Amino acid sequence: MSKKIAMAGLCLLLGGCTLLESVSELQPGDVPANWSQPVITSEKAWPDRGWWKGFASAELDTIMETAQRENLDIAIAKARVEQADALLRLAGSSLLPSVSARLGAREDGAIHNSAVTPTQTLSASASVSYELDFWGRNFENTRAAWRSLEASEFDQETVALTTVSSVANTYFRLLSLRDRLRLSKLNVANASKILELTRKQFAAGTISQLPVSQQESLVATLSAQAASLELQERQALGSLAVLLGKPVQDLVIAGETLEGLSAPQVSAGLTSELLARRPDVKSVEATLSAAQADLAAARAAYLPTISLTGDAGVTSTALAGLISGSNGAYSIGASLIQAVFRGGSLIAQNDRAYYRREELLASYRKAALNAFADADAALTGAATSGLQEQQQMVAAKSAADALRIAELQYKAGTVDFLTVLNAQQSFYSAQDQLAQTRAARLQAVVGLFRALGGGWQAPA
């Protein structure tokens, strides 16, 4: 049974309240008619819950499972949901009668002619009180707590989505750094070989000291870059360890390269469906609904409260006769309490609730506009990153061909060393940029999954 059904049943049982639906306060122009990028507008276009499996990495699948189980931010969000659930139960208790029981024992003594005559009295009673929620104030407070619980649940989903997206991005960054580090070390080795060749030519008197110094500078620069990449690789591993909730010393990532990973295709459905697939937007909507309930409760506070009370009990001077009918007593009463003067506190509470609702109305519209802009930018990023990778692959191949030709011509004596040096630098830069572009493409796909809600959908 859903919370909404349970709350509606309680409302019908106790009377005096109505269950309001979620609000939608968007302006006509807030929802765009179409995306900037041409997309497939079918139900299957939206991502599913296990969207990361499309990258075809068994290690990534395992890491994602670990993150969902061990990540500390997710654990914090779950604890907040439990707190909100407790607050809902606390608020709901105002809709139910309050029952209390009392047991008492008393001894009285009378003195006559220096003799004490004790009298023991035993009593038991129970009382029931219930505030009739005629104006719906208690229910509105309960409904506010209920929607706050929903907001906490949506926040938990947002944290989970953000976490798994960060895990995927960090994993791809780690493998990209390992690709770049491997290329950097190969470049250092290749540049060192050319350095040895230039030193031999200088020793033979065929070239001046200048090419030797230039190549020595290049080798030193590449070595420094390799050391920097080693540090970045370790930092990325540490970031991934934190996301997985474990010490970096215990984390072992077997992957060494981005090559072989797939970039899954994903598209967005109709623009009007996006808001139901973004937990962050649903959280703001639930918070807005809670504020509306707070406003309704504040307005109900102006009206009188009606309380029903009942007491029943027994009293006896003998334990054996405590429960006899002749010792019983009862009372039933009702009271109506109306606030007359509270120094303007009721008006202030109402004003605060009203402007809190106005604030959240603007926040809801802003969250919706951010969601559309985020998804639209992610669609563009996913489309352009694929083209960038293709172009960078062409550039890297051309740079490799140019370096190979330059080295052959230099050995044949048809070009000077400056030509080789320029070809080397272009080759190293193109290879490094290709590794970064490949990672950027995968991260752009992750960003698109996140912007589209990551396969999450609000429960019906």
Predicted confidence band of residue 108 (pLDDT cuts 50, 70, 90)? low
What percentage of the chain exceeds 70 in pLDDT?
Answer: 69
- Is 270 inside a domain boundary? yes
The pLDDT assigned to 5 comes to: 43
The pLDDT assigned to 258 comes to: 93
**Mean pLDDT of the region 113-136:** 58
- Is 346 inside a domain boundary? no
Predicted confidence band of residue 11 (pLDDT cuts 50, 70, 90)? very low
- Is 247 inside a domain boundary? yes
- Is a pLDDT exceeding 70 seen at residue 127? no
Query: For the domain that residue 386 is a member of, what is the CATH number?
Result: 1.20.1600.10
Would you say 38 and 447 are in contact if contact means Cβ atoms under 8 Å apart? no
- Is 331 inside a domain boundary? no
- Is a pLDDT exceeding 70 seen at residue 315? no
The pLDDT assigned to 111 comes to: 66
**Mean pLDDT of the region 383-411:** 92
Select, from the ranges 146-150, 284-288, 381-385, the one with the highest average predicted confidence (pLDDT).
381-385
Predicted confidence band of residue 319 (pLDDT cuts 50, 70, 90)? very low
pTM of the model: 0.75
- Is 20 inside a domain boundary? no
Structural domain for 54, as ranges:
30-101+132-310+351-451
More confident residue, 326 or 389: 389
- Is 395 inside a domain boundary? yes
Predicted confidence band of residue 12 (pLDDT cuts 50, 70, 90)? very low
pLDDT in tens, 230-248: 999 999 999 999 999 999 9
**Mean pLDDT of the region 206-226:** 91
- Is 107 inside a domain boundary? no
**Mean pLDDT of the region 97-108:** 64
Predicted confidence band of residue 201 (pLDDT cuts 50, 70, 90)? confident
More confident residue, 269 or 221: 221
Q: List the single range of 4-18, 206-220, 257-271 with lowest mean pLDDT.
A: 4-18
How many structural domains does the chain have? Answer: 1
- Is 138 inside a domain boundary? yes
The pLDDT assigned to 1 comes to: 38
The pLDDT assigned to 2 comes to: 47
